[in-house]
A and B are shown apart, each in its own frame.
Chain A
Amino acid sequence: MKTKYIFNLLSLGLVLTSLATTGCHKRPATLTPLPGARTGHIGDVPPTQPLGFDNNTTTSTGIPPVGNPIPMSKDGHVGWIPNTDALKAETVYFDFDSSAIKSGEQSKIDNVAAYLNQNPQAAVRVEGNCDERGTEEYNRSLGERRALAVREYLVRAGVAADRVDTVSYGEDRPAVPGHDEAAYKMNRRDDFVVLTPPQ
Chain B
Amino acid sequence: MNKKKPLLLLTLLTASLLAGVAGAQQEINISREVNVIGGVKPLPIALSGFSGEAAAVLKFDLEVQGFKVVDDSSAQYELAGGNNGDVHGQLNDRTARTSLLAKAYSGGTTRTQAHALADDVVSAVFHMPGIGQTKIAFKVDTGANSEVYVSDFDGHNAQAVTHDNTIVAAPTWVPRHLALFYVSYKLGNAHIWFHNLATGARDVFARYGGSNLSPAVSPDGSKVAMILSKSGWVDLWVCNIDGSGLKELTHSPQDESSPCWSPDGKWILFAGKVGERRVLRKISPEGGEAQTISTAGAGSPSEPDWSPDGKWIVFTSQYSRGFNICVIPAAGGPATVVVEGEDPSWSPNSRTVVFARRTGNGRVLSLLDVFTKQVKDVKQISGSDSQPSWAK
Contact = CB atoms under 8 A, between A and B. Distances in A.
A15 B271 CA distance: 53
B256 A141 contact: yes
Interface stretch (A64-72, A102-110, A183-191): A64-72
B102 A28 contact: yes
Nearest to B174: A51
A198 interface: no
Interface string A1-38: 00010011001101100010000000110111111111
A158 interface: no
A11 B257 contact: no
B209 A60 contact: yes
A86 B256 CA distance: 33
Interface string B88-102: 101010100111011
B204 A172 contact: no
A114 to B, nearest CB: 23
Interface residues of B, number: 94
Contact of A65 (B167, B169, B177, B232): B232
B141 interface: yes
A140 B169 contact: yes
Contact of A135 (B112, B157, B303): B303
A43 B243 CA distance: 25
A8 B90 CA distance: 12
Contacts of B29: none
B178 interface: yes
Q: For chain A, which range describes its interface: under 10, 10 to 19, 20 to 34, or 35 or more residues?
A: 35 or more
A45 interface: yes
Contacts of B214: 137, 140-141
A138 B157 CA distance: 30
Contact of A167 (B113, B179, B190, B207): B190
B231 A69 contact: yes
A8 B194 CA distance: 54
A88 to B, nearest CB: 18
A68 B253 contact: yes
B143 to A, nearest CB: 10
A156 interface: no
| Interface residue SS majority, chain A | loop
Contacts of B386: 136
B188 A172 contact: no
Contact of B157 (A40, A58, A99): A40
Given A42-B161, A45-B197, A8 B94 contact: yes
Nearest to A73: B209
Contacts, number: 257
Given A138-B257, A140-B257, A144-B213, A57 B157 contact: no
Interface in B135-157: 135, 141, 144, 146, 150, 157
A163 interface: no
Contacts of A43: 178, 197-198
Contact of A15 (B99, B185, B197, B198): B99
Interface string B296-308: 0000001100000
Nearest to B258: A137
Contacts of A11: 92, 97-99
Contacts of B227: 137, 140-141
A193 B286 CA distance: 39
A133 B248 CA distance: 29
Contact of B207 (A27, A57, A67): A57
A58 B116 contact: no
B178 A47 contact: yes
A50 B229 contact: no
B103 A32 contact: yes
Nearest to A69: B232
B102 A76 contact: no
B126 interface: no
B323 to A, nearest CB: 7
A50 B97 contact: no
19 contacts: A19-B102, A32-B105, A34-B105, A35-B108, A36-B107, A50-B178, A53-B205, A57-B205, A69-B232, A71-B209, A72-B230, A78-B187, A78-B188, A134-B302, A135-B342, A140-B257, A144-B234, A148-B229, A151-B232
Interface of A: 4, 7-8, 11-12, 14-15, 19, 27-28, 30-38, 40-43, 45-51, 53-58, 60-61, 65, 67-76, 78, 99, 133-138, 140-142, 144-145, 148, 151-152, 165-170, 172-173
